[in-house]
Chains A and B, each alone.
Chain A
Amino acid sequence: MMLDKFMLTYFNWEVMAQYLPKIVEGFFLTIQLALSVVVTGILSGLTLSLIRSFRIRVINFFIIFSVDILRALPPLVIIIMFYFALPTIGIRMSGFTATWLALSLVLTAFAEEIFWAGILAVPKGQWEAARSTGLTSLQTMRSVVLPQAVRITIPPLTNRTIAITKGTALGAVVAVGEILYQAQAGLAFSYNPSPLTLGAIAYLILFVPVVCFGRWVETRFAWKR
C-alpha cells in the first residue's frame, strides 16, 4: 500500500509518458549548453595561460585579477548579474547566453590557473634545451612545453570541468529550457513529482558516465610519485 502510493507519486507512468518528450528536449539542450561551455572555457583558459607566459606585467596583473574574481564569485551570482542586472544599463541577453557566458567565464578562470600551473611545472631545463636546439620560443612552447604541461593538467582540469558543467542546471533559474527547467515545469503542471524523477534520471544518464570517465582519467594520468 505504502509502496503503491510511493510509485504513484514518484514513478507515475502516465505523467512520465506525458512529460518524457519535454525532458528529452531539455536533455539535448543541456548537452548543447554543456558542450559550448566546455569548448569556450577550455580554449579561452588555454589562450589566457599562454598570454600569461609572455610575462607582461600589466596584462598578467589584469589576468590574475579577473581570474581571482571569477573564482571567488558563486556562478549563480554571475548568471543573475548578467540576466537581471545588466539589462538595467541596456545590455540584454537570453537566459541561454547568460548561463553560457557566466559558466564559460568561470571555467576560463579555473582552466587558466590549471594550465598556468602546468606550464610552470615543466622544468626550466626543458625550455633551455629546446631553445638551444634552434627552436624559436613559440615552437618550444608548442612542441615541448605544452604537450608536457597538458598531460599534467588533465586530471584536475577534467574534475573542474565536470563540476562546472553540472552548473548548466543553474540555467533553470533564468528560464533556459534545460532538463531541470522542464522537470520543474512538469511538476508545476501535473502537481506530481514524477517529472522530477525523470529529470533526475536524465542527469544520471548524462553525468554518471562523465564522473566515471573522470575517475578513469585520474588513475590513468596519475602522477607517479
Chain B
Amino acid sequence: MEQIIQSFFNVRIIQAAFPFLLKGFGMTALLVLTVVPLGVARGLTVALLSTAKSRLVKWMVIVYTDFFRAFPPLVLLIFIYFGVPFLGIDLPAFVAVAFGFLLNTSSYYGEVFRAGIESIPRGQFEAARSTGLNAMQTMAYVVVPQATRNVMPDLISNTLEVVKLTSIASVVALPELLYAARQAQSITYNATPIMAAGVIYLICLWPVVRLLSRFEHKTISLR
C-alpha cells in the first residue's frame, strides 16, 4: 500500500508536475476547441451533401466517410505528420494533428447528422417547401434543428470520443496532457504524473459519461 501511494499518488511529485500538466491540459483544451467546431461543421456539410439528388455526390460521400472511418486515427496522424513532410511541405505539429483529427472526426459527425436528417419525416420537407421556403431554408430552419435534437446523444457521445482521441497526439510529440504526463514521468522516474493525467481526464469526462448513460436509458424507456 505504502509503495502504491509512493509510486502512483506521490504528493511531492504532483506538486512538482502540476504546472507542467496544466500546460498540457491547456493544449488538450485548445485542440478540442479547434477540432470539435470544425468537425461538426464539416460533418454537417458531409451529411447535407449525402442528401443531394446526384448519385455521384452520394457515392462520393460514402467513400469519403467509409475511408476515414476505416483508417485508425493514429495511422492517419502518423501518415500526415511523418509522411507529408517528404513532399517538402512543412506542417506545424498542431496543424498536422488538428487536420488528421478533423478528417477522422468529421466522418463520424457526418454519419450522425445523416442519421438525424433521415429521421425527419418527408412530410416536414414538403410542408416547409409548400409554405414558400426554398430548399436551403427548409434545411436550415426546419430539418437540421429537429435532426440535431434527435441525434443529440450521439453528437455528445462522439464529442466525448474526440476529447479522448486527442490523447494520441502525444505520439507525435504535441505537448498535450498525456505527453506532458509522460515527460514528467520520465524526468521524475515516478508514475504519479500519468495517474494524475488519468484523474484529470476522469474529472472532465465523467460527468459527460453519466449524462450519456441517462440519455441512453431514457431513449429505452420511451420505446
B167 at interface by CB-CB < 8 Å = yes
B56 at interface by CB-CB < 8 Å = no
Contacts of B195 in A (CB 8 A): 81, 85
Contact A74 B167 (CB under 8 A): yes
B92 at interface by CB-CB < 8 Å = no
A163 to B66, CA, bound (A): 12
Contact B87 A9 (CB under 8 A): yes
The chain A residue with its CB closest to the CB of B77 is A169
Contact A204 B71 (CB under 8 A): yes
A220 to B141, CA, bound (A): 32
A54 at interface by CB-CB < 8 Å = no
A199 to B165, CA, bound (A): 21
Q: Report the minimum CB–CB distance from B199 to chain A (whole Å).
A: 10
Contact B185 A84 (CB under 8 A): yes
Contact A72 B208 (CB under 8 A): yes
How many chain A residues touch B (CB < 8 A): the figure is 51
A183 to B178, CA, bound (A): 24
**B→A interface (CB under 8 Å):** 3-4, 7-8, 66-67, 69-75, 78-79, 82-83, 86-87, 160-161, 164-168, 170-171, 178, 182, 185, 190-191, 194-195, 197-198, 201-202, 205-206, 208-210, 212-213, 216-217, 220-221, 223
**A→B interface (CB under 8 Å):** 6, 9-10, 68-69, 71-77, 80-81, 84-86, 88-89, 113, 117, 120-121, 162-163, 166-170, 172-173, 179-180, 183-184, 187, 192-193, 196-197, 199-200, 203-204, 207-208, 210-212, 215
CB<8 Å pairs between A and B, sample of 14: A69-B202, A73-B198, A74-B201, A84-B194, A86-B191, A88-B7, A121-B223, A162-B69, A170-B74, A180-B75, A193-B82, A197-B83, A203-B70, A210-B70
